[in-house]
Amino acid sequence: MINARTRHNHPCETIGDLAFYFHRHRKLDGIKVGVVSPESNILQSWIEASAALPITVVQVYPQKWHVKTAAKAYPRFSTSIDMGELTDTDILVTDCWPDDATPAELEGYRVTAAVLDRRRPGTEFIPCPPVSRGEEVSADAMQHPSCRVAAAKAFLLHAQNAALEWAFGVV
């Protein structure tokens, strides 16, 4: 088994989510990914994906936790404090709240069923495990029809197999 997760990025997680999305929708070109997360390895992998693929990525979070340098280096990446940015995303990803945050600072950045209901039909909600219900997501969001965490994470195996095949030169 490989995970390839570091403090800087989490490539297999992102590749697995993209493979899941492609499997369901048969496209990646032009999709928009919303990441409700502080600067983190998950967010960094999505930013890197925006450099390699024709996708856009927006970080939606309080400015205190925005990625500082990526916007200039990655033209298809942006930051916002407006949860309304998520209404037209094709994929919505969350990551854990930062340890130095208070609940009052992040209350408005919790993904709830109401947030998911404002998105277009057919969009995917893929929170990154471990998920803290009552923090980055609500319990009703985890039960929402657009929540695809279990199905999406099944694609991690395929992403990790592909990484091993690449590493060992298997064709």
pLDDT digits (tens, 9 = 90+) for 20-71: 999 999 999 999 999 999 999 999 999 999 999 999 999 999 999 999 876 6
Residue 41 in any domain: the answer is: yes
Structural domain that includes position 101: 29-152
Report pTM: 0.91
Residue 35 in any domain: the answer is: yes
Quote the crossing angle between the two packed helices 41-52 and 11-25, to the nearest 10°. Answer: 60
Name the percent of the chain lying above pLDDT 90.
Answer: 75
Single-letter residue type at 53: L
Query: What does the block give as tokens for 27?
Result: 């496209």
Q: Please state whether the peptide bond connecting residue 145 to the residue before it is cis, i.e. omega within 30 degrees of 0.
A: no
- The total number of structural domains in the chain stands at 1
- Residue 96, domain CATH: 3.40.50.1370
Residue 97 in any domain: the answer is: yes
Residue 140 in any domain: the answer is: yes
Residue 171 in any domain: the answer is: no
pLDDT of residue 92: 98
How far apart CA 141 and CA 127 sit, in angstroms, is 10
Residue 7 in any domain: the answer is: no
Residue 15 in any domain: the answer is: no
CA angle 80, 146, 124 (to 5 degrees): 55
Largest CA distance in the chain: 51
Residue 99 in any domain: the answer is: yes
